[in-house]
A and B are shown apart, each in its own frame.
Chain A
Amino acid sequence: MIVRLIGIFLLLLNTVEAEELALGASKADAQATVGCLFPMGGRGGIYGQDSVTGIKLAFEHLKKQPLPYPPIRVLVSDSSSKASKAARQVRNFVRKDGVRFICGVVNSAIALQVAEVAEEEKVFFIGTDHASSKLTRGKVRDYYFRVSNNAEQSMQAAAIYIKKKFARGPRAQPLKLAYIGPDYDYGYQAWKDLRARLDAEGVNYQVETVLWPKLYEPDYSAYLRALVDKKVDLVVNALWGGDLVAFIQQANQTTLFEHARFANFDTGGNYEVLSALGEDMPEGLILSSRHHNNWPQTDYNTWFVERFHALTGRYPSYAAEGAYAGILAISEALRVAGPEASDQALRDALSSLHLKLPEDPEGFISFMNPLNHQLQQVIAIGETVPDQRFLPARMMLGNWMIYHPQLSNQPE
């Protein structure tokens, strides 16, 4: 009976999975096929929708380039934020559609399992939005490359930021710190990375509490009560997307922001969060993101943001630039190594990748670290300030602190 139920369930899943979205070249013309996994509905649905537009913008960009990029076909499938489904979709992509590249995945826990399957199936997994540093730590994975900053890089910048902004003398009371992160791998890794970097920077801090709400937690009242009770100096939050929006909305009803500074160094500055909160976004929160609509103010970033707005009528979340970077990375690797290149040749091309992306400030080009397959990018941390240019967001980030991959600290 149970086996039959599981069978029906899997059949239903396959039916849903059949509704894939195809972008780019036709099946006949394509010299390579990319399978992308994004959540297309529910709380994380905006990531998938923005990623699809990001992919379209990547194709637009490639068409304008003088270099010959091999035509590629992109299949987008809804992962529904389920690891089991995503793993199955990867196998389907490989076996049915003959994809050579897997792209996307927002959730780090899902990404871990997708990476395992990709490794087994020997297809390249180009990570875009997930940020757990676990995939780029330890033994280098042959088939995994990430084209956006991971939590470790964000936390490295965060530690320098904290050291500068919350300076404590050796004899002073330590910085009272609280951490609240999602109860899965991304939350664990971000916290681990932050502590490691704070220790490395010699920051005098004391952990008052660590809280682990589950992903998609609807009610943060108990967590907020615990944070308010602790009377900390700084609350580091690693929630993202709708969870962060819900947390800030509920925190606005408490005294948390009155007696503690609040920071989210990896995803808090995502436009999705700023726009969802609108007037509910408090001023003075310390946030960052993997891509900002108002920084850097280069022609390239302006084109990206405005073109996105022209296509969709709204401004992009960082997922758009993640998917955009993923498609550019795959195209560049195929151009360099050739569509028929061996896995090793493609790996070499990806390992030495240099990509000019919208988030790169003037004079900087994102580059791949061949030792861990992690793209190196500039990180900008800012504070929320009133800014009406990107409605419905009423607050955007300002008062920037800029951190290059070499970790030189450059206040703008």
Chain B
Amino acid sequence: MSHDHSVVRHIRSQESDTAVDVDVVPYGTSKNRLASKYLWLSLLVALIPLIGFASLYDSYFSQLVTRLTEEQLATRVAATQNEFRVFIRERKFELLALADQFDNPNLFVPSGRQKISSELESLLRLQVDARSVYGVVFFDEKGEVVWTFPEERQAALTGLESISEFEGTELIGPSPFSIEQPSGVVLRIAEHLAPRSGRKGSIGFFLRFNSLTEILQGLDQGTAFRVLLQAGDGQAYDVVGQPVTMTKVATQRFSLLPGWSLLVMQDRELVMSPVERMRYWLIILMIFTVAGLFWLHMSISRRLNRQVESLIDSVEKVALGNLETPVANVQGVEMLRLRQAIERMRRQLKTFIRSTLAIERQATLGQLAAGLAHDIRNPLTTIRTTVAALARRETNPENKEMMGLVEEEIDRVNDVLENLLNFARPRDPLASKIDAKELLNGIVALVGASARNQSIELRVTCASSLAFWADEGHVRQVLMNLLLNALEAMSVQGRLIQLDACQKGDEVALSVCDDGQGMPEDILAHIMEPFYTTKSAGTGLGLAICNTLIKSNGGRMSIDSIKGKGTTVTVFLPVAKAQE
């Protein structure tokens, strides 16, 4: 059995112990209950991802609808193919018209630029005003560039390699992509280079390559699919003329010209990526949902377990007899109610056991005292009378002294028996109104001499009109006992005993406070128990009798002590009211 001797500075009476009120926690509304909270949170954690899931699914469905509308793609591709070819044909007709004006064979030589008339030059200027035409290129009969208009465009014609034929024209290029200048392609009339044409050269346009890629712009959605132009050089270009690395598989390829194609890319980044991203987010959401629920369950479970374990520990301590340790605090309405019930049970059990023990102890002592009175006191009286008679006749002083010692010891045994009887069956109190100041002064007068011998000051503090209701003999006996205890306790240290009387509510508090050596907590816990003493010659009944006497007067007693600092014993008795 383990005993917790924690500080018990204030020993309450049995009545006050049982009267302890435990704070009652309200049952609470349903949402404050732990189970309700758990349900709401679970619902919340489940609902948020569900809403997200539904929204994303809806968006995914919308994308699906968009993809279904791609059926229109074929129609639009056909239109784009036609627009591309029409663009080339229009340039071809412009070239043919221009070639009619430049029919002089002498123009198709390197010095041809200097030989054109101002009217022909105006025609050339008019031609290059068009945004899609960078310049006009003149070829000799071998197909080599002899001069260009404007002149600076000649440099841009280097690097043109691939040649695609289309309806009597040749599309050469595009020029290699560079960050310096935009790419261009040359469109020239192939027929005029044939020997049978009778011409000495041919004319071509140096076309803006972006004018060709821009034709695809109407088809390029940028969201569902991407459209690229695969030019004669085999390279794919986007609608703004940037080369695109062909890492992805084109799902559809449509021919524009020989060697030139339209690529409709089912771009993973553009088509699948949004869908996959959505799926990815759905998976993440699901994982978070599961993880969230799991965490929630684990957390609540751990918390409940912790609290239940704590309560079980407390109950086990009570079961093992430790009634001093309060039940640990817990949270949650239900758990708090359970904790309060256990705490109430502990306190009631403690009170019950204490009172039962006290009753049993007192009953046992009563029987013992009665037995002693009967079996010891009468023979002792006979012995003492006999010894006294013998002593009177005894002439030998040594024997006479020894007989005197026997008488004293018999008196001491009688005193012990008297104390026992007082404790077991105290005299019923005869209550009267007692003036506190008068009482205290009287007691100080009795003990004053002993105190002075120990160089201890006795000081009384009391209001003049303070009175209480009790048996004066009992109170006097108690206060004397307390004062003598204090004087004993101050044999080692201490110089002052303070006797105070004051009113506290309906009670008068009489306290005896010394600055002696005090008591440790483990002694303090048992000091009121009968036969518990720290003195070698003590009976351990002094304070027990005091307590019994005060209780029989409707009062209570408390002891506070700090080792090395002193002890204060306070007696509370009912105040005497004015009419009494």
How many chain B residues touch the partner (CB < 8 A)? 30
Q: Which of B163-186 contact A (CB under 8 A)?
A: 179-182
Residue A8, interface by CB 8 Å? no
- CB-CB under 8 A from A212, the residues of chain B are 181-182, 210, 241
- CB-CB under 8 A from A179, the residues of chain B are 179
Complex contact B100–A226 (CB within 8 A): no
Cβ contact of A214, chosen from B150, B180, B211, B220, cutoff 8 A: B211
Most buried by A among B97, B214, B242: B242
Most buried by B among A113, A207, A210: A210
Q: Given known contacts A88-B122, A214-B131, is B182 in contact with A3 (CB within 8 Å)?
A: no
Complex contact B123–A226 (CB within 8 A): no
- CB-CB under 8 A from B76, the residues of chain A are none
Complex contact B241–A188 (CB within 8 A): no
Complex contact B242–A209 (CB within 8 A): yes
Distance of A191 Cα from B182 Cα, bound (Å): 12
Which A-chain residue is minimally distant from B182 (CB atoms)?
A212
Complex contact B222–A225 (CB within 8 A): yes
Which A-chain residue is minimally distant from B118 (CB atoms)?
A91
> Total A-B residue pairs with C-beta atoms closer than 8 Å?
69
- CB-CB under 8 A from A226, the residues of chain B are 238, 240, 242
- CB-CB under 8 A from B179, the residues of chain A are 179, 191, 207, 210
- CB-CB under 8 A from B550, the residues of chain A are none
Which B-chain residue is minimally distant from A134 (CB atoms)?
B152
Residue B239, interface by CB 8 Å? yes
- CB-CB under 8 A from A10, the residues of chain B are 122
Residue B375, interface by CB 8 Å? no
Q: How far is the CB of A205 from chain B (nearest CB, A)?
A: 12
Which A-chain residue is minimally distant from B128 (CB atoms)?
A83
Residue B101, interface by CB 8 Å? yes
- CB-CB under 8 A from B123, the residues of chain A are 6
Residue A112, interface by CB 8 Å? yes
- CB-CB under 8 A from A385, the residues of chain B are none
- CB-CB under 8 A from A211, the residues of chain B are 240-242
Complex contact A219–B217 (CB within 8 A): yes
Which A-chain residue is minimally distant from B181 (CB atoms)?
A188
Cβ contact of B125, chosen from A2, A87, A225, cutoff 8 A: A87
Cβ contact of B131, chosen from A87, A192, A216, cutoff 8 A: A216
Residue B492, interface by CB 8 Å? no
Residue A84, interface by CB 8 Å? yes
* Interface range on chain A (Cβ under 8 Å from partner): 20 to 34
Q: Given known contacts A212-B210, A214-B210, A226-B242, is B125 in contact with A113 (CB within 8 Å)?
A: yes
Complex contact B122–A87 (CB within 8 A): yes
Contact with B along A70-103 (1 / 0, CB 8 A): 0000000000001111011001000000000000
- CB-CB under 8 A from A188, the residues of chain B are 180-181
Complex contact B239–A222 (CB within 8 A): yes
Complex contact A183–B125 (CB within 8 A): no
Residue A300, interface by CB 8 Å? no
Residue B346, interface by CB 8 Å? no
Residue B126, interface by CB 8 Å? yes
Contact with A along B95-132 (1 / 0, CB 8 A): 00100110000000000000000100111011011011
- CB-CB under 8 A from A223, the residues of chain B are 240
Which A-chain residue is minimally distant from B210 (CB atoms)?
A212
Residue B556, interface by CB 8 Å? no
Name 11 A/B residue pairs within 8 A (Cβ), A-sorted.
A82-B126, A83-B125, A84-B122, A84-B125, A87-B121, A183-B182, A188-B180, A212-B241, A222-B220, A223-B240, A226-B242
Kindly list the 7 A-B residue pairs having the minimum CB-CB distance in the complex, ordered from nearest.
A84-B125, A212-B182, A84-B126, A214-B131, A210-B179, A222-B239, A82-B129
